[in-house]
Amino acid sequence: MENFKKESNLEKLITVFYFAIAGVEITSELFSYKPALFVFKPLTSIVLMVLYWNTSNQRNLLFFVTILFSLITNVFFIYDTEKMLFLGLIAFFVHRLLIIYYIIKLIKLKDYIPLLIGMIPFLFFFFYLLSITCEITARSYGILIIQNILISIIAGITLSDYVMDNGKKNAPWFFIFGLLSVTQYFIVFIEKYYLSDLSSLSFRPLAMILNVAVYYAFYKFVRVIEKLNDN
């Protein structure tokens, strides 16, 4: 019992540290202070991995690799050069594939029909936005097609699992993760392609807060699944 309390207190302490670091990261981004970004952007992901390491008995390698690619993506995106942006998009693509594979493995998805049905409304929505978007380069267009498909897969898995869940305990955190992921993607898409003339401060803080919340919800979802498997 005493060990459990110590572990619980440690989890709370690391969680507070995670959100504190995230707060500094968001503030640094708002003021475009890159020296701090190079420290706190990677540190946010590292603290999340430390949190998982200290609370999980399974310590699944997939979790660390998935978050590592998120870290790499964030570092590449700090730079303003086209080459670094392209490398960041490649890392983000790998990250998305890993997170989809990890989720499918965690929930032990066997029936893909509900997933495909759940994807349809999101595919229509995001491809409609893409179809009415002007001034997109050929390279960006191809990247957006892939990203639309990947976020629709995540949304489809989340929606189908929530509907077909039958009261499983993983549902709330998984649903929160999926909802936040879709919302974040939508906000970034709208800001970049529809509101680019406005100040980047309009939506950037919200997008960054959502990013922090997305990965924390993902961590909680993973931990709930692991606890269910342990029982």
- Condensed to tens digits (0 to 9), the pLDDT of residues 61-114 reads 999 999 999 999 988 888 877 788 788 888 989 999 999 999 999 988 888 899
- Condensed to tens digits (0 to 9), the pLDDT of residues 157-179 reads 999 888 876 556 667 899 999 99
Tokens of 19: 């959100």
Which residue type is seen at 94? V
Q: Is the pTM of this model over 0.85?
A: yes
Secondary element (H or E) of residue 162? helix 138-164
Residue 218 neighbours by CB under 8 Å, 6+ apart: 99, 177
Domain coordinates in residue numbering, the chain: 2-230
**Spatial CA neighbour of 204 closest among 77, 76, 36, 16:** 77
The 3-class secondary structure across 17-70, one letter per residue, is HHHHHHHHHHHHHHCCCHHHHHHHHHHHHHHHHHHHHHHCCCCCHHHHHHHHHH
